[in-house]
Amino acid sequence: MESILINCVQNNLHHFMHSNAIFISQLLCAQFPSETNLQLLAACYLQNNQAYSAYHILKGTKMPQSRYLFAISCFHMNLLGEAEAALCPANEPGAEVPNGAPGHYLLGQVYRYTDRKKRAIDHFKQALSKDPLMWAAYEELCILGDAEEATTVFGEAASFCMQKQYLNCSTSPNLSAEDCNVVATNSVSEDVSPRKLRLMQGLKDIAANPHGSSIIGGAASQLISSGSSNMSFYNTPSPMATQLSSVAPPPLCRNVMPNGPNLSTLNSDNSPKSTVNSTIQAPIQAPRRKFVGEGKLRKISGRLFSDSPRRSSRLSNEASVSSNANATMLSGNGTSNSYKGGSKLGPMTFRTMTVRKGQSWANENMDGGIHNDAVDVSRLNISSTTSCSSAAVEAKAYEQDATTLQVSGQATSESKVITGASEILTILRVLGEGYRLACLYRCKEALDTYLKLPQRHYNTGWVLSQVGKAHYELVDNLEADRVFSLARQIAPYSLEGMDIYSTVLYHLKEDMKLSYLAQELISTDRLAPQSWCAMGNCYSLQKDHETALKNFQRAVQLNPRFAYAQTLCGHEYVAQEDFENGIKSYQRALMVDPRHYNAWYGLGMLYLHQEKFEFSEHHFRMAFRINPKSSVILSYLGTALHFLKRSEEGLAVMEKAILADKKNLLPMYQKANILMSLERFDEALEVLDELKEYAPFESSVFALMGNIYKRRNMHERAMFHYGIALDLKPSATDAATIKAAIEKLYLPDELEDNL
């Protein structure tokens, strides 16, 4: 009964019927109360997004797997202290973290969000060393800015680790490495009940199912089955099957055949039972089916399947023709035998003999001088001793062939695992290096790295979203828009990077595209923070900052660890001049991710507005340390230095900003401002003349030129440039400033300062 209930739960989880799985698990725990069954019930609740239920079920449990599931439920409930205590008990300081690589990854996340960076990095690295395919751990290391080069992480050591883990599982892809060890070390020569299999497995691997959604291991769902299907689990086909005969061999690898006779009772009258049993036991020790050549197969089948309740007329005719053509044949001991058409042959022997139509099996097997034995039933009954010795020789030959094929199959399996591991790690090296460089904001190098991917891997939603982010960081919003649009076409279901895409459209002032994107994302997933970030950017572009703030707050509510949403909240508070709440939002973002440079930049801008220039410089420098390639950060850092009366230092920073990104025109404008304040008017005009070529319709450029000409008392030229600035339709604030400057155009500077 217990096995039936467990199997039912596994099937329900596999088919995403979580509510039914929970109900059956409750029956299971009521009838068979045990901590292992409680793990199953807790796993059902976790898959149904009911972490609080799993928390109460597993609280106080001691088994490693129970502590791991309890830690997951604590993490989802933001009870990070309890999660750490479950994974690292205080009374067991040297205890191993449960569940291997996933356990270390979970513990690393706990340390990360409790601001213990070094410990987090250590556990993420341990997770990668135990499982090189733990990409999430490498992703976390990149985010923390402490990832090694991908060629090192996914190198020879990772390849060796993968081979060690998956070599025994190459023919059973649903098994974990530990499951494969169980299968390899346990013989299947005896009938194993589902109950015994469940106890042997222990349900210790509660991990993802083949579809990536189930927490329960796929191996358990296959091991725990009813009836005779338990034995078929171990009979995986040999990789050499395609190179051998297409005719299936007799089922020699099973002791029990549910729909057929027992091999030990096939020949009840003076048959060599001991020889038969030894012949069967040899291949049973290996979990793989053995395929042998047709000639060997016929020899064995002729002896083992010597009696059959049926006889085909076609077989009788063919045997009769064969007996006339070949009056005598060599038996196993070299004596002459007369083949008689009335001898009884098993159905598997008949299927093997009639591979080639129109030829007798005797003629076929005499090719090349190889002598095949055909034992008459009467002869077998008379001289059992001779038959025993002959069968023993043939059984030994079969064992040798089976061993040879098994070794060959293992070699093929090993080569497949080695080749597969090499191919996977080659792809991961490119993906990992590209992602690492992107997290270090070396975006041009990251883009070059991603281009090394094969086309089928490059044109995926995840890679294209990373490429789009890189272009956004390079302030190439037009190219970012193009790449993100392509990512939406390829993977419209994916929300990866859509928060950044909405910001790209915000900067491009594409209000229609942004509105359409926000509505699409909301209809796709209303519970994703990216959807509400897009909606917030849409309202922010329309200057509805209050509604935009509500949307960003909704994103934070859905995922408090989403740093970008916290930063966007800070931007909206600053737009409403609510600086106190803006500071709190930026600080919350930095608590989630200390390397989130946008929050440092936001704080720098906030203090710049408040004219707290020392604070502003500090936060801009912090942002610059994280993202040293950003020309925007450099330009505002130079501005802060200028206001701190360190104009020469500010000019040097502006030069770096111009070299960092020649497409960004802001540093050139700020450089002209600083030069004007230093009364280096000619140099300032040279910079503005160059800037005019790049931005001929920017009103602020002509307004600044008007200010310079006014300072040089060239009023007519100043008036001319002020007029051009107004004709370019600046914002209301800028227009008012320009008109005020025109009114004061003929006033002396001393009087203007007093007004």
DSSP character string of 588-617: HHHHH-TT-HHHHHHHHHHHHHTT-HHHHH
Look at residue 405 in the predicted model and tell me its pLDDT.
Answer: 54
Domain residue ranges in the chain? 38-166, 441-491, 495-591, 595-671
422/435 Cα distance (integer angstroms): 20
pLDDT band (50, 70, 90) for residue 422: confident
Confidence (pLDDT) at 390: 55
- Please give the average per-residue pLDDT across 457-484, as a whole number: 94
Mean pLDDT value of segment 85-93: 83
8 A C-beta contact, residue 304 and residue 266: yes
Report the largest interatomic distance among the alpha carbons of the chain, rounded to a whole angstrom: 135
* pLDDT of the residue at 734: 85
**Most confident range, picked from 32-36, 384-388, 618-622, 629-633:** 618-622
- Nearest residue to 430 via CA among 402, 455, 408, 401: 455
Residue 190 has pLDDT above 80, yes or no: no
For domain 495-591, which architecture applies? Answer: Alpha Horseshoe (1.25)
CA dihedral 7, 221, 231, 260 (to 10 degrees): 50
Q: Are 250 and 297 in contact (CB under 8 A)?
A: yes
**CATH C-level class of 38-166:** mainly alpha
Amino acid at 498: M
Give the confidence band of 663 by pLDDT, cuts at 50, 70, 90. Answer: confident
Q: Same CATH fold, 595-671 and 38-166?
A: yes
pLDDT at 498: 95
Q: What is the mean pLDDT of residues 217-230?
A: 37
pLDDT at 398 (0 to 100): 56
pTM above 0.75, yes or no: no
Q: How many CB atoms lie within 10 A of CB 456?
A: 7
pLDDT of residue 741: 87
CB–CB of 293/402 below 8 Å?
A: no
Does position 179 have pLDDT exceeding 50, yes or no? no
Q: Across the chain, what does the average pLDDT equal?
A: 75
Whether 393 has a pLDDT exceeding 80, the answer reads no
Would you state the pLDDT for residue 675? 92
- In CATH, the architecture of 441-491 is Alpha Horseshoe (1.25)
Is there a contact between 638 and 659 (Cβ–Cβ < 8 Å)?
no
d(C-alpha 423, C-alpha 415), whole Å: 12
- Tell me: the pLDDT tens digits for 193-203? 443 333 334 33
**Confidence label for 742 from pLDDT (cuts 50, 70 and 90):** confident
Q: At residue 121, does pLDDT exceed 50?
A: yes
| Per-residue pLDDT reduced to its tens digit, 315-342 | 444 444 444 444 344 344 444 343 334 4
Task: Supply the pLDDT for residue 671.
Answer: 92
CATH 3.20.20.80 matches 595-671 = no
Instruction: Please provide residue 348's backbone torsions phi and psi, each rounded to the nearest 5 degrees.
Output: -70, -35
Euclidean distance between CA atoms 349 and 250, whole angstroms: 8
pLDDT tens, position by position, 541-579: 999 999 999 999 999 999 999 999 999 999 999 999 999
Number of other CB atoms surrounding residue 189 within 10 Å: 12
Backbone angles phi and psi of 136, in degrees to 5: -60, -35
**156 band by pLDDT with thresholds 50, 70 and 90:** confident
Q: Tell me the pLDDT tens digit for each residue of 342-356.
A: 433 344 333 333 333
Pair 42, 30: CB distance under 8 Å: no
User: pLDDT band at residue 745, thresholds of 50, 70 and 90?
Assistant: confident
Distance of alpha carbon 248 from alpha carbon 427, whole angstroms:
38
pLDDT, mean of residues 224-232: 36
DSSP per residue over 452-466, as a string? TS-HHHHSSHHHHHH
Span 297-307, pLDDT tens digits: 333 333 333 34
Given a cut of 90, is residue 143 above it in pLDDT? Answer: yes
Residue 364 predicted with pLDDT over 60:
no
Which of the four pLDDT bands, split at 50, 70 and 90, describes residue 222?
very low
Tokens at 621, concatenated:
């420098």
Residue 6 pLDDT exceeds 70 = yes
Q: How far apart are CA 709 and CA 234, in angstroms?
A: 89
Tokens at 393, concatenated: 């020789």
pLDDT at site 214: 38
Nearest CA to 640 out of 598, 606, 683 is that of 606
pLDDT the model gives residue 92:
77
Q: What is the pLDDT of residues 254-289, one digit of tens each?
A: 333 444 434 333 344 444 333 333 333 433 444 444
Contact 42, 69 (CB under 8 A): yes
pLDDT higher at 24 or 372: 24
Rounded-to-integer distance, Cα 44 and Cα 19, Å: 8
Residue with tokens 């997951």: 72
Report the DSSP beta bridge partners of residue 329. 337
Average pLDDT score over residue span 623-636: 93
Query: What confidence score (pLDDT) does residue 410 get?
Result: 62
Max mean pLDDT among 374-383, 476-485, 704-713 falls in 476-485
Whether residue 301 contacts residue 295, with contact meaning beta carbons closer than 8 Å, is answered with no
Measured CA to CA, the distance from residue 630 to residue 636 in angstroms comes to: 10
Looking at residue 411, what is its pLDDT?
66
In the chain, what percentage of residues exceed pLDDT 70?
A: 66
